[in-house]
């Protein structure tokens, strides 16, 4: 392949003017290596949830890009994220998935690190190093920036990246729809029953684009709809009130985040109770009412799916989860899925949600199985010498985006495609790849935050 560094070549790969994207960005190993540098070493990435490390000394081994990191809480309750690689010879310091430790001791030669990352133990320190080793310089490598937001933990390796809240910008209230409690109170979620991890033989961008809002693939879930895995035994989800809502694709061109959300009319009856125990149906009914009262217009907004650039997805309702698409080479993705519930929900509600969540999502979830089959076969069928010559088509709904979308006195933040009549668009997907191309081209954060867009005019040059 020719050099991928020239701007012109890069623009040729993601051609927003034509709505075409080269298969190379999914299957080319050189481009993948560059993604690790330009995207995963710079962007904000989801690392975990504070409820996974409630006590001093608790740790959870996570991942940023391909690299293992340790999320841990030190003795003073401060949260850290360290590279899981010993400073002596690179051994993976922590080989457990999670646990509690007073110190983190490297299994190779025994260097020990405190939970705040300092190198505190060196075997034969006096004898072998003759007192010359400056331990203060050899602590665990720590991320440049860390942000705790409503229970979630985010990190970036890049000191020049904008602060996390700036990185999210006006997209923040959409992710709040997943991170706030069901009754509209701030935060208050916890992880249910650990997390699920599994691998899918496809490029990480297949799931990233799907969760950005691929409303076009409902045909794939036809069998699940027929089987009726929803809480009341019909369809995939129980949200009959959505029939009255506006279905919107909402994208943030300056950030690369996007969501598929529903906006309910101002006056809408509370949904019928879940066909389940009275504890469960009453809980959801009360929460629904409280949320609408507390949140006003935002109480009318229901985020179905969304994606924080580059590789974090969220589902706000049914089920309520966070996912990280960890790249494992150009041709494999390790999916991690966190399932969220309200910490204060009754045990019966948590159990009801647990059963529904695993029916829907994860490697055994019926809906996610459909998706994975598509990504798996699409990736494999795109790798061939001949297949790579043919770009994918992303032109659906080009030119139908609305900058200042308003419905029933709610001005919706973001650039919107209203699917009420159109049914589907690839507006959000184009937004994801526009930002992808910007990250791959920009050498400095100033270029990424300057507001310069790879628009249609430029792409057509």
Site residues for ligand FES per CB under 6 A: 86, 88-89, 91, 106, 108-111
Determine if 254 is a binding residue for Fe ion (CB under 5 A).
no
Q: Smaller CB distance to ligand FES: residue 126 or 421? A: 126
Nearer to ligand FES, 84 or 367 (CB): 84
Cβ closer to ligand FES: 78 or 109?
109
307 binds Fe ion, rule: CB under 5 A: no
Residue 200 binds which entry of ligand FES, Fe ion, none, CB below 5-8 Å type-dependent: none
* Rounded least distance, CB 330 to ligand FES, Å: 29
Asked whether 144 and 41 are in contact (CB, 8 A), the reply is no
For residue 310, cis peptide bond before it (omega within 30 degrees of 0):
yes
Name every residue whose Cβ is closer than 8 Å to that of residue 336 and which is 6 or more positions away in sequence: 62, 63, 195, 196, 197, 323, 324, 326
Q: Which residue is nearest to Fe ion (CB)?
A: 371
Whole-number Å distance between alpha carbons of 69 and 47? 8
Instruction: Please identify, using beta-carbon distances, which residue of 35 and 371 lies nearer to Fe ion.
Output: 371
Which residues lie closer than 8 Å to 37 by C-beta, 6 or more apart?
none
Which of ligand FES, Fe ion, none does residue 140 bind to, with CB < 5 to 8 Å depending on kind?
Answer: none
77 binds, among Fe ion, ligand FES, none (CB under 5 to 8 A by kind): none
Q: Is residue 342 close enough to count as binding Fe ion by CB under 5 A?
A: no
Closer residue to ligand FES (CB): 94 or 177: 94
**Residue 91 interacts with, from Fe ion, ligand FES, none (CB under 5-8 Å by kind):** ligand FES
Distance (Å) of CA 180 to CA 3, 27, 183, 302, 366:
45, 37, 8, 12, 26
Compute the least distance from the CB of residue 418 to Fe ion, in Å. 21
Stretch that binds Fe ion, among 31-39, 145-153, 366-374, 439-447 (CB under 5 A): 366-374
Our finding on whether 371 is near Fe ion (CB under 5 A) is yes
Q: Which does 371 bind (CB under 5 to 8 A by kind): Fe ion, ligand FES, none?
A: Fe ion
Cα distances (Å, whole numbers) of residue 332 to 41, 62, 203, 325: 19, 17, 6, 10
Shorter beta-carbon distance to ligand FES: residue 126 or 411? 126
Between the CA of residue 255 and those of 9, 431, 448, 451, what are the distances in Å? 23, 9, 9, 9
Positions in the binding site for Fe ion (CB under 5 A): 371
């Amino acid at each position: 392949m020719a050099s991928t560094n020239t701007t012109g070549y890069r623009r040729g790969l993601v051609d927003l003017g034509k709505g075409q994207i080269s298969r190379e960005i999914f299957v080319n190993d050189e481009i993948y290596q560059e993604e690790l540098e330009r995207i995963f070493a710079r962007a904000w990435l989801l690392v975990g949830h504070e409820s996974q490390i409630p006590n001093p000394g608790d740790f959870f081994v996570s991942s940023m890009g391909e690299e293992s990191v340790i999320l841990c809480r030190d003795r003073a309750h401060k949260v850290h994220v360290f590279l899981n690689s010993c400073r002596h010879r690179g051994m993976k310091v922590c080989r457990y998935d999670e646990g509690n430790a007073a110190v983190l001791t490297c299994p190779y030669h025994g260097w020990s690190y405190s939970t705040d990352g300092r190198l505190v133990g060196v075997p034969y320190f006096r004898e072998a190093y003759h007192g010359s080793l400056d331990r203060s310089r050899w602590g665990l490598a720590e991320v440049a920036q860390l942000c705790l937001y409503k229970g979630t933990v985010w990190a970036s390796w890049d000191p020049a990246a904008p602060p996390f809240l700036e990185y999210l910008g006006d997209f923040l209230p959409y992710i709040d729809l997943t991170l706030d409690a069901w009754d509209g109170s701030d935060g208050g979620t916890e992880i249910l029953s650990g997390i699920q991890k599994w691998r899918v033989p496809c490029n990480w961008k297949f799931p990233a684009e799907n969760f950005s809002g691929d409303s076009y693939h409902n045909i794939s879930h036809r069998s699940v709809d027929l089987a009726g895995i929803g809480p009341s035994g019909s369809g995939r989800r129980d949200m009959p009130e959505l029939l009255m809502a506006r279905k919107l694709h909402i994208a943030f061109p300056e950030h690369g985040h996007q969501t598929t959300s529903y906006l309910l009319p101002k006056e809408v009856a509370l949904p019928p109770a879940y066909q389940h125990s009275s504890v469960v149906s009453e809980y959801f009914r009360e929460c629904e009412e409280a949320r609408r009262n507390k949140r006003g217009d935002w109480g009318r907004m229901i985020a179905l799916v969304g994606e924080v650039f580059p590789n974090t997805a969220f589902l706000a309702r049914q089920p309520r989860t966070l996912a990280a698409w960890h790249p494992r080479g150009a041709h494999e993705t390790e999916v991690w899925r966190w399932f969220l519930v309200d910490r204060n929900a009754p045990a019966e509600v948590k159990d009801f949600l647990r059963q529904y969540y695993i029916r829907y999502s994860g490697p055994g979830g019926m809906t996610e199985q459909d998706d994975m089959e598509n990504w798996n076969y699409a990736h494999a069928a795109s790798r061939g010498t001949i297949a790579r010559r043919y770009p994918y088509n992303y032109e659906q709904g080009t030119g139908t985006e609305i900058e200042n979308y308003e419905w029933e006195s709610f001005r919706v933040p973001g650039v919107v495609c209203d699917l009420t009549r159109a049914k589907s668009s690839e507006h959000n997907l184009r937004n994801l790849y526009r930002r992808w191309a910007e990250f791959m081209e920009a050498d400095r954060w100033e270029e990424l935050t300057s507001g310069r867009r790879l628009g249609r005019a430029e792409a057509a040059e």
